[in-house]
Amino acid sequence: MEINLVSAILVLPLLGLIPVVFAGGKDRDDIVRWGAFIASLVTFVVSLGLLFGFDVSDPGLQFVEIFDWIPNLGISYYVGVDGLSILLVLLTAFIMPLAILSSFSAITERIKLYYAFMLILETAMLGVFVAQDLFLFYIFWEVTLVPMYFLIGIWGAENRIYAAIKFFLYTMAGSILMLLAILWLGINGGTFALPELIEQGINYAAFGPATEALLFFAFAIAFAIKVPLWPLHSWLPDAHVQAPTAGSVILAGILLKMGTYGFVRFNLPLFPEASRQYAPLIATLAVIGIIYAAWVSYAQKDMKKLVAYSSVSHLGFVMLGIFALTAQGVQGGILQMINHGLSTGGLFLMVGMLYERRHTKLMSAFGGIWKAMPIYGGLSLIIVLSSMGLPGLNGFVGEFTILMGALGSNVLAMGFAVFAATGVILAAIYLLTMFQKVFMGPLEKEENKALADLNWREIAVLVPIVILLFVIGLYPAPFFGLMDTAVGHLLAQMGQVLTVGR
């Protein structure tokens, strides 16, 4: 029997649960940590097999596995990757080992439970990106909620319970309407398999004038809360600030991408007419988010909060790109998902490493850190510059492509790109201000003088990220190449339905 690679990466993290749950003896803690790390690392290595076996000229699904799961209701286990999802799968598999590695010293309590949740979370997130059956997708989508809730609630900071509950309720409130919409599609489309639903197309007009719009919003609200799109973002700063470092990294790096990915994967092809009609609305919210969150970011005293709001701002760009509904926009949006995962994940790691040493995240507690921790300073600078969108690093490529896409859009006016561009400038202001306050200036405070620079483990966590920042920044062509045909196919599908509909 041939093993399907996609199914393999879903199972591998769960296999890691075996050493984690059954570890015992005096080396118990080490077995748990390394067991979890190795499981996630093996998952990453196997996921590279997807990359090498991927046929870029094929716009459809690859590595498909499908079998009946609940035949009574037409629900199947249906997974596969295509150009829209492969980068996100790789990103998830790439970030998880780093997040686990970064937790070795930060998490000292109840570590079995911690790593068990991390591994379950990995499977669920990968599942979200590869599921092609709406029901299966919803299951993975909701399952991500539970481990993340515990990660924040048990290992978080002082206000963790409030943040955990807020996270749980917000996300669940969004997704339950999506469940109804999924049911509606399953009943009226006769199948829960996404490719077939798109293929056959549903004539929504036959069910009443507002049907497509209602369904569009049932999905959109679930995804918009996850992204988060302004004004649904208020859970995010709380969750980020209270979560443990690895939790924030995963939240920013991967979980938020589930929202933006959802728009690309479901909203655009399933509801082409509504997507087109409401693109200006969504883009408006995105641009408001870009500017508003950037301003709020600037006003923060806490580094983690600053990075959290910067996340809202950056994801506004992704949303703008997607709803430009042009090839460039969507491609830029997908690439920017990856970029944001790397650079914001990196920023959170950075803040976490400082927090482990000083137990504060307030910028005013620092100053002149570079002198005490030169390696840390150097790596941090690169990550900050990447997040700002400096040419030569990855952030620039993504934002530039998105703005180009938005300018060339048929559905969005030019003003969207113009206003969004100010977000780039604002990002430079708040990020450089932060960098200046923390790293530059004289090293005055006594407790900062004795700070130890990064150890080998921390360097091993940051360096792979920094390398990728350069690779994408200097040579983005292969990344675009991976998604080129799939994005083209997606937009062609939309266009076809639109012309037929008219």
Count of positions on this chain that bind another protein (CB under 8 A)? 33
The residues, any chain, with a CB within 8 Å of residue 216's CB and separated by 6 or more, are 267, 271, 274, 275, 278
Residues 110-139 that bind another protein (CB under 8 A): 113, 135, 138-139
Among 18, 45, 180, 471, binds another protein (CB under 8 A): 180
- Which lies closer to another protein via its Cβ, residue 38 or residue 177? 177
- Residue 176 as a binder of another protein (CB under 8 A): the answer is yes
Dihedral angle over CA of 148, 152, 155, 156, nearest 10: 160
Helix (H) or strand (E) holding 430: helix 414-439
- Output the smallest distance, CB 187 to another protein, in A: 6
Decide whether 122 or 458 has the Cβ nearer to another protein.
122
* Sign of CA pseudo-dihedral 38, 41, 45, 50: positive
Reading the block at residue 499, the tokens are: 């012309």
Only segment of 181-189, 382-390, 409-417, 453-461 that touches another protein (CB under 8 A): 181-189
CB 262 within 8 A of CB 325: no
Provide the 10 A C-beta neighbour count for residue 353: 23
Told to check if 492 binds another protein by CB under 8 A, we report no
69 lies in the binding site for another protein (CB under 8 A): yes
Residue 168 found at the interface with another protein (CB under 8 A):
yes
90 versus 239: smaller Cβ distance to another protein: 239
Binding of residue 72 to another protein (CB under 8 A): yes
- Closer CB to another protein, residue 179 or residue 362? 179
Contact set for another protein, span 234-293 (CB under 8 A): none
**Nearest to another protein of 140, 479 (CB atom):** 140
Residue bearing tokens 């409401």:
278
Smallest gap from Cβ 24 to another protein, in A, equals 14
CB closer to another protein, 131 vs 383: 131
104 binds another protein (CB under 8 A): no
Per CB under 8 A, does 498 bind another protein?
no
What is the enclosing helix (H) or strand (E) of 64?
Answer: strand 62-70
Give me the amino acid identity at 147. Answer: P
Shorter beta-carbon distance to another protein: residue 161 or 299? 161
186 near another protein, rule: CB under 8 A: yes
Helices (runs of H) and strands (runs of E) counted in the chain: 24, 2
* Closest C-alpha among 95, 115, 88 to residue 44: 95
Residue 181 structure tokens: 């919409």
Q: How far is the CB of 68 from another protein (least distance, A)?
A: 8
Q: Which residues have a Cβ under 8 Å from the Cβ of 151 and sit 6 or more positions away?
A: 114, 117, 118, 121, 243, 244, 246, 247, 250
Does the footprint of another protein cover residue 18 (CB under 8 A)?
no
**Of the candidate residues 73, 418, 463, 500, the single one contacting another protein (CB under 8 A):** 73
Counting contacts by CB under 8 A, is residue 187 touching another protein?
Answer: yes
Cα 260 to Cα 146, 312, 480: the distances in Å are: 20, 12, 17
Position 161 contacts another protein (CB under 8 A): yes
184 near another protein, judged by CB under 8 A: yes
* Maximal CA-CA distance, the chain: 72
Q: Which helix (DSSP H) or strand (DSSP E) does residue 223 occupy?
A: helix 211-226
Q: Interaction with another protein in 138-157: which residues (CB under 8 A)?
A: 138-139, 142-143, 145-146, 149-150, 153-154
Q: Which of 87, 101, 131, 164 binds another protein (CB under 8 A)?
A: 164
Is there a contact between 239 and 202 (Cβ–Cβ < 8 Å)?
no
Residue range at the interface with another protein (CB under 8 A); choices 70-78, 253-261, 299-307, 395-403: 70-78
**What is the distance in angstroms between the CA of the first residue and the CA of the last residue of the chain?**
48
Per CB under 8 A, does 207 bind another protein? Answer: no
Are residues 248 and 352 in contact, defined by beta-carbon separation less than 8 angstroms?
yes
Mapped onto helix, strand or coil, the DSSP state of residue 133 is strand
CA 408 to chain centre: 26
Q: Which residues bind another protein (CB under 8 A)?
A: 69-73, 113, 135, 138-139, 142-143, 145-146, 149-150, 153-154, 160-161, 164-165, 168-169, 172-173, 176-177, 179-180, 183-184, 186-187
